[in-house]
A = this chain, B = another copy of it.
């Protein structure tokens, strides 16, 4: 089952933009041209270009044409990066403690987040604590789709973070996160050296790779000492 046609058209355009073949400001083929070049209907070409405009990749002017947008609003407003890299970029030491790494039977919650059918109930689970300058800054509770990373249980997670490993074996295609303020469960709180009723910042993250959901992670940070930063320049 191939990708939808409009998605193939989007990929066709994105590939040429990413390769540098079409630079910002360059003209993109018109809908009629795409119809001829790719053998799709105009509605399909229109949907592809319209969606790329909506996400800021292209800019269109009726009566004129379609153009590669300038990259200014590039950065994701909510920058959530690899924690190890982020800590090191601040000039601090990072180390990780592996609490557990094993196959488990997925709970319904996990199964839903990873969109697993009822038979593929086995997933890989890892629980890590990340330290910055010796202080705990993140508890990482992660569920990995075995189909995407079959060798996950053999990875030395104290040396290579789950994120780094997954990025290597499975090209990152899509990320979704939600951020909330919560009072963490006691088991998590103690790992973060938080007293009861101290809040934590919880980042829930789902990643996609090769069209499938690759992993689901719950990232807990002490509310008092952890900040998420973002912003942009116009």
| Chain A interface residues toward B at CB < 8 A | 43, 55, 74, 76-80, 171-183, 197-202, 221, 223-224, 226-234
In the complex, given contacts A55-B233, A76-B232, A181-B226, what are 7 additional A-B residue pairs having Cβ atoms less than 8 angstroms apart?
A: A178-B227, A179-B227, A179-B230, A180-B223, A181-B199, A183-B197, A183-B198
Query: Which chain B positions have C-beta within 8 A of A199?
Result: 181-183, 199-200, 223
How distant is the Cα of A43 from the Cα of B172 in the complex, in angstroms? 32
Query: Which chain B positions have C-beta within 8 A of A180?
Result: 201, 223, 226-228
For A77, give its contact among B43, B76, B171 (CB under 8 Å).
B76
For A223, give its contact among B174, B177, B182, B224 (CB under 8 Å).
B182
B229 & A177 in contact (Cβ 8 Å cutoff): yes
How distant is the Cα of A209 from the Cα of B175 in the complex, in angstroms? 32
Q: Can you list 26 residue pairs at the A/B interface with Cβ under 8 Å?
A: A43-B43, A55-B233, A74-B178, A76-B232, A77-B177, A77-B230, A78-B79, A78-B179, A78-B228, A171-B234, A174-B231, A174-B233, A176-B229, A176-B230, A177-B228, A177-B229, A178-B228, A178-B230, A179-B228, A181-B181, A181-B202, A181-B226, A183-B197, A197-B197, A199-B200, A199-B223
B233 & A173 in contact (Cβ 8 Å cutoff): yes
Query: Which chain B positions have C-beta within 8 A of A77?
Result: 76, 78-79, 177, 230
